[in-house]
């Protein structure tokens, strides 16, 4: 039997905390060591494919703890073989978990998804307009022609990356002072038009942050989508029991 690890927390559970059932309807309980706790539930079939309902159940449990406590959220699928292994995990990582919980105290994660238009996702210039006419032919290209096409493609990719990084810097500069830390995910695929920015924001200032984000200048070349507040999923390492 395996057990899912939902989150790590500090201190006794508050009386107001209502913990929903975990994945597959299993009861959620805690394992504790020296002031730290881990939320666990049985994992019936560890190799069974996960469903959307499993992920939602997992998130509901994490968020129920986060509503009252500072937590280190786990990644779905993090597990131990038995509850005692969770106690060992807490004991062996006690100093690191305690330090991270202090760092996350009073903070929430808020996201900004930046939906890019084609010009920003692929670079300001149209790559096909700069390629030689022979580029679209099915016949093999001569060596020099091939490397010239590769060079043009790389230049367009570099330009797109530069534009995206500049956009991220401008957005973060506009929100300076309203967040503690931030993390950026640049799309790794040329076909992806979505930039993801994650911010650690004081819980009592989330609405102020959201208001500031809504006041950012409108731009026809991209759209901003706000999300959160959530537990700080993107600011902790994956738990490694």
Cα 110 to Cα 65: distance, rounded to the nearest angstrom: 18
Q: 92: which 2 tokens?
A: 């062996």
Instruction: Please list the residues that pair with 96 across neighbouring strands.
Output: none
The larger pLDDT score, comparing residue 241 to residue 185, is at: 185
Strands 36-43 and 71-73: unpaired
Cα 40 to Cα 89: distance, rounded to the nearest angstrom: 13
Q: Which of 116-130, 155-169, 221-235 has the lowest mean pLDDT?
A: 116-130
Mean pLDDT within 179-195: 78
Reduced to 3 states, what is the DSSP secondary structure of residue 96?
helix
Cα 71 to Cα 100: distance, rounded to the nearest angstrom: 9
What is the structure's pLDDT at 72?
A: 96
Mean pLDDT within 82-102: 95
Segments in 67-105 forming alpha helices (H): 83-92, 94-104
Cα 130 to Cα 213: distance, rounded to the nearest angstrom: 37
CATH topology of domain 108-125+156-234: Alpha-Beta Plaits (3.30.70)
What is the structure's pLDDT at 137?
A: 38
pTM above 0.85, yes or no: no
Cα 145 to Cα 42: distance, rounded to the nearest angstrom: 60
Total residues found in the chain within this entry: 241
Q: 138: which 2 tokens?
A: 């099915």
Cα 116 to Cα 121: distance, rounded to the nearest angstrom: 6
Element (H, E) at 229: strand 222-230
Q: What is the mean pLDDT of the chain?
A: 81
What is the structure's pLDDT at 41?
A: 97
Which parts of 19-150 are beta strand (E)? 29-33, 36-43, 71-73, 79-80, 107-116
Q: What is the pLDDT of residues 141-150, one digit of tens each?
A: 455 554 454 4
Domain chopping of the chain, boundaries: 2-105, 108-125+156-234
Banded pLDDT at 179 (limits 50, 70, 90): very high
Cα 58 to Cα 238: distance, rounded to the nearest angstrom: 15
Mean pLDDT within 160-183: 85
Mean pLDDT within 192-217: 90
Banded pLDDT at 67 (limits 50, 70, 90): very high
Instruction: Please list the residues that pair with 41 across neighbouring strands.
Output: 4
Q: Which of 48-52, 104-108, 189-193, 219-223 has the lowest mean pLDDT?
A: 189-193
What is the structure's pLDDT at 138?
A: 39
Angle between helices 94-104 and 83-92 (to 10 degrees): 80
What is the structure's pLDDT at 139?
A: 43
Q: What is the 3-state secondary structure (H, E, C) of 207-241?
A: HHHHHHHHCCCCCCCEEEEEEEEECCHHHCCCCCC
Banded pLDDT at 224 (limits 50, 70, 90): confident
What is the structure's pLDDT at 234?
A: 92
What is the structure's pLDDT at 131?
A: 33
Banded pLDDT at 189 (limits 50, 70, 90): low
Instruction: Indicate whether 186 pLDDT > 90.
Output: no
């Amino acid at each position: 039997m395996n057990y899912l690890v939902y989150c790590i927390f500090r201190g006794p559970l508050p009386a107001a905390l209502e913990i929903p059932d975990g994945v597959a309807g299993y009861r959620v309980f805690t394992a504790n060591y020296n002031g730290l706790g881990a939320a666990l539930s049985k994992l019936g079939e560890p190799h069974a494919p996960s469903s959307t309902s499993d992920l939602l159940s997992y998130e509901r449990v994490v968020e129920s703890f986060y509503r009252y406590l500072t937590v280190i959220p786990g990644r779905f699928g993090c597990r131990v073989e038995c509850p005692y292994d969770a106690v060992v995990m807490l004991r062996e990582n006690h100093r690191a978990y305690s330090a991270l919980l202090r760092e996350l105290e009073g903070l929430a994660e808020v996201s900004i998804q930046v939906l890019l238009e084609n010009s920003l996702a692929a670079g300001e210039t149209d790559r096909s307009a700069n390629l030689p006419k022979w580029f679209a032919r099915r016949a093999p290209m001569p060596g020099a022609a091939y490397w010239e096409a590769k060079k043009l493609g790389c230049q367009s990719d570099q330009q797109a990356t530069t534009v995206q990084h500049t956009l991220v810097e401008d957005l973060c500069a506009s929100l300076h002072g309203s967040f503690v830390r931030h993390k950026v995910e640049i799309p790794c695929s040329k076909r992806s038009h979505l930039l993801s920015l994650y911010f650690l924001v004081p819980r009592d200032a989330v609405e102020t942050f959201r208001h500031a984000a809504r006041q950012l200048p409108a731009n026809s070349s991209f759209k901003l989508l706000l999300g959160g507040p959530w537990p700080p999923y993107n600011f902790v390492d994956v738990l490694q029991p």
